[in-house]
Amino acid sequence: MREPPAFPRRWKIDGAVLIAETFSSRIWKVFRTDGSIAVVKALKPFDDVGDELRGALFLKWREGEGAVRLLGRDRRKMLLEYGGEQLLTAMIDAEGDEAATEIAADVLAKLHHPSDRPAPAQLQPLRERFAALFGMAKMASGTRHCSIYAEAAKLTASLLDDSPIEVPLHGDLHHDNIVLSQRGWLAIDPKGVLGDPCFDAANLFYNPLDRDALCADPQRITRMAKILSQALKLDPCRLLDFAFAYGCLSAAWHGEDGNEKDESRELAIASAVRSVRADS
């Protein structure tokens, strides 16, 4: 059984249970001396640690609006509000996909609600976030995916050039990053990005990850675009454009890792999104 790390005394923690471990972090459910429960996210040394550190800045800036609260930070450890254990993914079976999408849209609306506080200066520009897609479009010449990567890179450049507004973004919102807390549905695990709000809705089209048929269903794509665009007051066509671009970006990340299965999966759903967009 893994021993918990040393926690700062000021956090007043007297017990901890490891509840999750990923390539980037270990997540501890902690019990504080005042009887409350919280979470400690302890980051491991890895290449993309900047995503997690920017995410902490995003949470501090949001101050609990639409997301769990950042209660404290000590180097690469974050003390977080306990968000509960029910993920939005479970709502699809319990209440249906449309209900789950409406919840996600409500969470996004709260995350994008204007704040009087200045946004953190360290947030990652969206153009930088798409670096892997632009790189893949150049490298994929002559490969079986070269056409879709080139198309997505061209579209993304156009979207970024004419973005009407830039706001702080969660950067990785999907069904397993939305939890039901005592305060309602909240986002967890942000990446801290700055850019077009359409980007924040794009990943939802590709989730849950184990439901490929659902994600590629044209009716679901159309319905999701309608719900999200109405709730967030976004152009549904632009939303679908970003969804296509995001899928190709995600595929590029998998391609960089040599993961052909997931690369093909993302590109297949991106193609379905593109078809819906063409008919809209």
Q: Which residues are part of the catalytic machinery?
A: 172
Residue 168 one-letter amino acid: P
**Secondary structure (3-state) at 36:** coil
Q: Residue 21: how many CA atoms within 13 Å on its side-chain side?
A: 6
Q: Rounded distance, CA 85 to CA 90, Å? A: 10
d(CA 159, CA 208): 26
Count Cβ atoms below 10 Å from residue 159 Cβ, excluding itself.
20
Q: Nearest Cα to 130, choosing from 108, 109, 104, 149?
A: 149
Q: Which residue has the tokens 């990943």?
A: 203
Residue 262 buriedness (CB in 10 A; 0-12 / 13-18 / 19+): middle
Q: How far, CA to CA in Å, does 57 sit from each of 89, 93, 177, 206?
A: 26, 34, 17, 26
CA distance 139 to 136: 5
124 in helix, strand or coil?
Answer: strand
Q: Which of 103, 80, 75, 107 is nearest to 90 (CA)?
A: 103
